């Protein structure tokens, strides 16, 4: 749509008057001045990128968006996602490709969970649109008819290190967005009147998200810098900055401030705290249940405990058993298809401002694709829960591509991340409920094979508290397992007892935080001898976590059993044996450590 057509299409009462338009232009120039001053003071930043979007920001913040300036966390406020750090905004993404997916999560929450009037705006750079996760988000928003979502593409042709391949060919951006099912406008990003018009028109559109393709110029209003290469991320010298500021100030004609419109106050009051198990787990000791299935059942149960619990899955629901949640709470299940980066971004968006308790569910091996998104969630102190199933070689016949053998290392490196590794159905249910009320990123590692229930329904669990599941005064070695390996350890203990060799068995339950006190205390009772057994590569897993925990204890020795090398397809039991983490290998390790 041409700029003149856009302006003509706006109803007369919605058109800003000439004075308001001039104030918006002046506010844009003030934003330019602020960006120059801030980056000069800090000797770092992006004044040219800020300058290209100044009119867009002016129109959004002072004319279009509805919010309470004195109450930025108000649940009724419009939301804004930006790819650079500024106060007030819900999330400022440090790297590119993540903002639109997060905005999708916020828009989905607003439309389907809150059923509220607030809208979500996301500003993207043109170079960001080369990220595949952006197109995952475009497809998601169109599929779910997120008409409360507006994405603005700041097309200034310049990337970080040079000119982008399609430069200012905004018709290409337009065709791409339209092909993904978006209502799309092409505008001059410097024209505040046209920007006001298209944002008004976007508000009238139903059942489609809107993309605004804005042609802009990097360094707009800065002589010899505007549209020039090699100025990305560079604050300008003080003398040059002073001259440019004086030039911009000379173009400012008003001294007015525009107050934002108040939001429509129709977001529901919610409560996502005090999550507790409503009834004991319905399992008997000796039942055979895969922890992935127990997790699906626990999520369904959790959904009854709090109506703000949601589950997102990446087309794996029939294997992760998240379909059990969908069966009982279909309106709170989000199918994200095979787009793991966007799935995590959407979950982050859903959880912003504490609007939902979000669980992401997929094969743990696929989460490596979304590691950057998970890290950004930790940086922004987001509260989301991630369930990774099909961990380790115990996956069996599905083969190496489905076996997560690096996930513990990955999540252990995430700041303030809690890692649950339940070993049976009862502990899995507790892990799910504990994760729902734990701050930060939580990861629950589940397994494919069926394993025995070893805990009674009355057993209690806490974050950072391990369980000593077998012990006697005659124990010679402390053996630590989790998940499937705990059952191998218990089998080894039973066989060793027939030879009058007693071992102490610890179930870690949480890998992070690790119960170092329980490990050290029990190790000292067994001559300082520890064996760790894990269905994971040795790097970054349980063995290394335990070694770190006992590193200041001079008389404790740790022997590690882990999966070495590249795995292969086969029966679960055969692979556990082939890669040295079966009961047979544990027995050999115990005898070896006692002999040596």
DSSP, collapsed to helix, strand or coil, labels residue 99 as helix
DSSP 524-573: HHTTTEEEEE-SS-STTSHHHHHHHHTTT-TT-EEEEE---S----S-HH
How far apart, in whole angstroms, are the C-alpha atoms of residue 582 and residue 124?
A: 51
Q: State the Cα–Cα distance between residues 241 and 230, nearest whole angstrom.
A: 16
Separation between Cα atoms, residue 2 and residue 8, nearest integer Å: 10
The rounded distance, in Å, linking the Cα atoms of 166 and 170 is 8
d(CA 199, CA 201): 5
> Edge-to-edge strands of the sheet including 467-470?
467-470, 503-507, 477-481, 529-533, 557-561
Distance CA 479, CA 523 (A): 9
In order of 195, 248, 250, 251, 389, the CA distances from 23 in angstroms are 14, 14, 14, 11, 55
Q: Which of 362, 353, 359, 285 is nearest to 321 (CA)?
A: 362
Considering Cα of 172, then 173, then 178, then 183, what sign does the dihedral take?
A: negative
- How many angstroms separate the CA atoms of 565 and 48, rounded? 49
CA distance 227 to 218: 5
SS3 358: strand
Asked if the peptide bond before residue 176 counts as cis, ω within 30 degrees of 0, the response is: no
Q: How many residues does the chain have?
A: 596
Q: Which of 55, 128, 340, 488 is catalytic?
A: 340
* C-alpha–C-alpha distance, residues 278 and 19, integer Å: 60
Judge whether 106 and 79 are in contact, CB under 8 Å.
yes
Q: Cα–Cα distance between 596 and 583 in angstroms, integer?
A: 20
Is 340 among the catalytic positions?
A: yes
Taking CA atoms, 250 is separated from 30, 33, 247, 254, 485, in Å, by 11, 12, 5, 11, 72
Exposed, middle or buried by CB within 10 Å (0-12, 13-18, 19+), for 80?
A: buried
Between CA 523 and CA 555 the distance in angstroms is 9
Alpha-carbon distances, residue 503 vs 32, 132, 204, 467, 581 (angstroms): 69, 51, 70, 14, 16
Indicate which residues carry an active-site annotation. Answer: 340
């Amino acid at each position: 749509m041409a700029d003149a057509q856009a302006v003509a299409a706006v109803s007369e009462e919605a058109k800003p008057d000439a004075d308001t338009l001039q104030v918006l232009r002046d506010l844009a120039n003030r934003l330019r001045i602020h960006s120059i001053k801030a980056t000069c003071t800090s000797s770092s930043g992006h004044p040219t990128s800020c300058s290209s979007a100044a009119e867009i920001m002016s129109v959004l913040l002072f004319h279009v968006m509805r919010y309470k300036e004195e109450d930025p966390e108000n649940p009724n406020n419009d939301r804004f996602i930006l790819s650079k750090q500024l106060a007030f905004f819900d999330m400022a993404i440090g790297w590119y490709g993540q903002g639109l997916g997060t905005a999708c999560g916020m828009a989905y929450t607003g439309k389907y969970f809150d059923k509220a009037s607030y809208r979500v705006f996301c500003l993207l750079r043109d170079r960001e649109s080369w990220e595949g996760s952006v197109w995952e988000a475009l497809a998601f928003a169109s599929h779910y008819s997120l008409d409360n979502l507006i994405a603005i593409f700041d097309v200034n042709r310049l990337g970080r290190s040079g000119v982008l391949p399609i430069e200012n060919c905004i018709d290409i951006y337009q065709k791409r967005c339209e092909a993904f099912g978006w209502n799309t406008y092409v505008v001059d990003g410097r024209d505040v009147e046209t920007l006001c018009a298209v944002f008004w028109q976007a508000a009238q559109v139903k059942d489609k998200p809107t993309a605004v393709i804005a042609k802009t110029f990097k360094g707009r209003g800065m002589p010899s810098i505007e549209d020039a290469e090699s100025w990305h991320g560079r604050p300008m010298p003080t003398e040059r900055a002073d001259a440019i500021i004086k030039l911009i100030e000379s173009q400012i004609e008003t001294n007015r401030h525009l107050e934002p419109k108040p939001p429509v106050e129709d977001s529901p009051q919610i409560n996502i705290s005090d999550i507790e198990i409503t009834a004991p787990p319905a399992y008997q000791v000796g039942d055979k249940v895969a922890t992935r299935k127990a997790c699906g059942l626990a999520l369904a149960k959790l959904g009854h405990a709090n109506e703000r619990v949601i589950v997102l899955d990446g087309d794996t629901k029939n294997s992760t058993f998240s379909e059990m949640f969908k069966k009982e709470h279909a309106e709170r299940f989000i199918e994200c298809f095979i787009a793991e980066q966007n799935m995590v971004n959407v979950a982050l968006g859903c959880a912003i401002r504490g609007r939902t308790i979000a669980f992401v569910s997929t094969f743990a091996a696929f989460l490596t694709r979304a590691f950057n998104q998970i890290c950004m969630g930790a940086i922004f102190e987001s509260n989301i829960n991630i369930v990774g199933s099909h961990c380790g070689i115990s996956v069996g016949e599905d083969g190496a591509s489905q076996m997560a053998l690096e996930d513990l290392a990955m999540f252990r490196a995430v700041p303030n991340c809690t890692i649950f590794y339940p070993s049976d159905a009862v502990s899995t249910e507790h892990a799910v409920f504990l994760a729902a009320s734990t701050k930060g990123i939580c990861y629950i590692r589940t397994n494919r094979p069926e394993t025995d229930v070893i805990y009674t329904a009355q057993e209690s669990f806490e974050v950072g508290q391990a369980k000593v599941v077998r012990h006697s005064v005659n124990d010679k070695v402390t053996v630590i397992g989790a998940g499937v390996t705990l059952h191998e350890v218990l089998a080894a203990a039973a066989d060793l007892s027939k030879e009058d060799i007693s071992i102490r068995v610890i179930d870690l339950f949480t890998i992070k935080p690790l119960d170092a006190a329980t490990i050290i205390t029990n190790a000292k009772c067994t001559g300082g001898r520890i064996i760790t057994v894990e269905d994971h590569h040795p790097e970054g897993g349980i063995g290394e976590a335990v070694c770190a925990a006992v590193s200041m204890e001079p008389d404790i020795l740790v022997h590690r059993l882990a999966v070495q090398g590249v795995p292969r397809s086969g029966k679960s039991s055969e692979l556990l044996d082939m890669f040295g983490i079966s009961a047979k290998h544990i027995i050999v390790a115990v005898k070896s450590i006692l002999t040596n």
